[in-house]
Each structure stands twice: as structure tokens, then as C-alpha cells.
Amino acid sequence: MTRWELVGKADFELSVHLSAAARQASEADTPILITADNYRRLIDVHSRSGIKLSAQKATFGDNRSNDDGRLSKRMETSEALERQIHRIHELLERSHDDVTWNDHIPDPDNPERLRQIDITVRRNGKLTIIECRLSRNRQNVKWIEELMGRRQSLGADTIIAVASAGFTKGAQLKAARYRVHLRDLKHLTEQEVANWGDQVALILYYYQYSDVNVSVGFAPQSFQNIDPGVLVQELRRHAVLQSVFNAASSQLDTLNLLAREDTRTIRFGVRVRPEMVDLCGERVLEIGLEGKARLVAQIISSPRVFGYGEPTQTATERPATVEQFNLGETSIVHNDDRIAIEIDLSGAALPPLSQIRYFRTKHENLLNCESLAITNPEMLRVSNGRLTLDVYEMRT
């Protein structure tokens, strides 16, 4: 038996499946075995290889995994602040088309030159410019005067200044006189969050695979030309491996494990016959995947809630309330009974051979979800991990 080790990050295609809930299913009285087709003939096992893919975690800013396995998130870049304010105004304006992040508009005095704007809002022929500042210190009169000139230079009807740390008293007085609208972020205390009562619980569910074996079948005339070492390298990079995992997860979905909150470890087996897939220069006739899987729930905590509005407003009086979650830039924006959900998977840290499958939200009050966005969807691929590989000859 020859054994190979492979280290790298797989380049897979993606099949995305997200669901808030599953239908209720009856309990099974016998152990569950999933199989697409129990017919499989292993005429000759040519080799068995150990494939090991390094677990690489995508990060954003200061994302990291805590010692207890929970995910952490800190908004520490200007870009993160701008995107958060953009999501807030999309909900407040009740439109995605009219609100643009990182916009570029022609300079009225030199149309060939484009001027970058953090966020623009276009409505009824009028232009609103939103500029954001991420800083540890309150913004002073100087920035207000800069924005006054920017509004006039670019011919904007309205300008909004957003400062993460707020504004000095002098800046607020200057802004009030010259119609520069001020917005900042004010954190809600634990008691204010409790009194608010609209906090949403966010739960991520993923399938965790173990004892996984991949088998690849070739025609007899092709079988002799297969180099196991080359096969391992090509399979690692090929989209078909992710497709087979997607087939397995689809089979698991039929068990409605989420509806029953069933976390048992389940044996599974799937076999697919891909079209036009070549490995080692030979046509693949079928690929099988067998192993064990279980559904795992990960509660995503929301360590902070803040209100977005005018500096003179208390945190609970503001028109928008934002929950930030410990998963990349994941947030839920509230405006009365309307919410907008942004799921950012860049901070996801999963065990080996795991695949995100569902998200679920829970809340006490009736809320209308007006938008759901997924960013960094490449993290929906099955995570890297160890599996074994069989190569066999298929005979009629």
C-alpha cells in the first residue's frame, strides 16, 4: 500500500444551500443509512491514499477564534465602517438601487476626473453624499469645514458626516449652522438591550464529516494508465470533489435533521456518475463518497448593539439599531419592525471536513426581513481535512 500526503487549499466550485428551517420529520426507528445506490463493485483496489489538506481560515481585520471556539469580530477598518453604514441606509431608504457604496462621480468642474465618495444616495433627482470617519477621537470643526466645501464642489444637495467616535461641541454647532447632518454610533447598555427586546438570535448549522473515503472508478482500458500520485493532485484541485460532497449534503438534508434538532452521527454513502470529467487524462465513470456525518449547531453571539442617529439622540431613540455578531462583519440592521441581515463568512472557523448548510434566526417579536445577503460565499465549501482515496476498475 502506497501513501501520499497532500497539503494545499482545494479550489472547488460551489453549490449554495441556505434555509431558515426544515419540515418536521418523523423519528426513525432504525439507524439511518443514506445511499444513492447500494450497487458498487470494487473489482480491484489499485491504491489507498491518505489525502491531507491544510486547514486555512479566511480572516478579516482582527477576526480570530477564541479559546472556547467562539468566533470574534472587531470592526477596525474604514471599509468595514463604510459598508456597515451603507447597509443601514439601504434599509432606511427602503432601496438597494439608490444607495451606493464606494461610488465615483464626475467632478462638475472637470468631468473627466472621477471623485470617490464613501456612500451616495440618489432619490428624486437629488444627490446625498455620506462620508465616514473611523477614529478613536471625536471629529472637530476642521472636518466639518472640509465637508462644507466638498458638498459645494461636487454639487450635492445634502451631505451627511458619520463619525464612529462622535463630534466635538464646536463641530456640532458649526454643522448645525451650515446644514451638515451629523450621525454617530452609540452603544446600547445591557439594560437598554433588554428593554429594547428585539434582539435576534443567530445560529449557524454545518455538517461535520468523519471517516470519509472517496472512490474513483475508471474503465478497464483507462485503469492501467492511472498514476495514483497524479490522481491525488488533480482530484484535490477539481470541482468534482466538492460536487460529490454537495450530493452527500443533499442526501443528509432529506432526513430533516434540523427540524428535529437531531445531532446523531449518521452513516452515509453516495455515488455519482459525472459528465465529462477527466483525471490523469482518463474519463471518470463514477465517484463515490462514504463516511459519517452529524449536524452541528453553532450559536453566533452578538456582543454589541448600537444605535445609529444624530449625536443628540439617545441610543434607544435612534431610527436604526444594529446588532453586530462574532462572524466577520455579520450584522442585523433594525428599523422599527424591519430588518436587513448580512451574513459574512470570512470569519468562519470550522473543524476539518465541515460544510456550512443552514442559518436560523430566532426572535420573540414579528419582524419583516427585507433583505438577506451572503458575503464571502467561498467559505460554504467543505473545509479541508483528511480523507482516504480508492481507485478501482469498473467492468460490465
**Residue-range domain boundaries for the chain:** 1-74+191-396
Q: Rounded to an integer, what distance in angstroms lies between the CA atom of residue 56 and that of residue 13?
A: 17
Residues in the chain: 396
Span 281-304, pLDDT tens digits: 999 999 999 999 999 999 999 999
Helix axis angle, 169-177 relative to 141-154, nearest 10°? 30
Helix, strand, or coil here: 195?
helix
Three cell numbers written together for 241: 470533489
pTM for this predicted structure: 0.75
Cell of 66: 477564541
Strand partners, 308: 185, 320
Q: How far apart are CA 105 and CA 111, in angstroms?
A: 9
Span between the terminal Cα atoms of the chain, in Å: 26
Per-residue pLDDT of the chain (396 residues; tens, 9 = 90+): 222 222 222 322 222 222 222 222 222 222 222 222 222 222 222 222 222 222 222 222 233 333 332 223 345 799 999 999 999 999 999 877 799 999 999 999 999 999 999 999 999 899 999 999 999 999 999 999 999 999 999 999 999 999 999 999 999 999 999 999 999 999 999 999 999 989 999 999 999 999 999 999 999 999 888 988 889 889 888 999 999 999 999 999 999 998 888 999 999 999 999 999 999 999 999 999 999 999 999 999 999 999 999 999 999 999 999 999 999 999 999 999 999 999 999 888 899 999 999 888 888 888 888 888 888 888 888 998 988 899 988 876
Contact (CB, 8 A) for 137 and 110: no
Distance separating alpha carbons of residues 270 and 209, to the nearest angstrom: 13
CA-closest candidate to residue 94, choices 322, 338, 319, 344: 338
Measure the CA–CA gap between 225 and 229, rounded to whole angstroms: 12
What cell was used for 164? 464612529
Cell triple for 259: 427540524
CA dist 247 and 249 (Å) reads 6
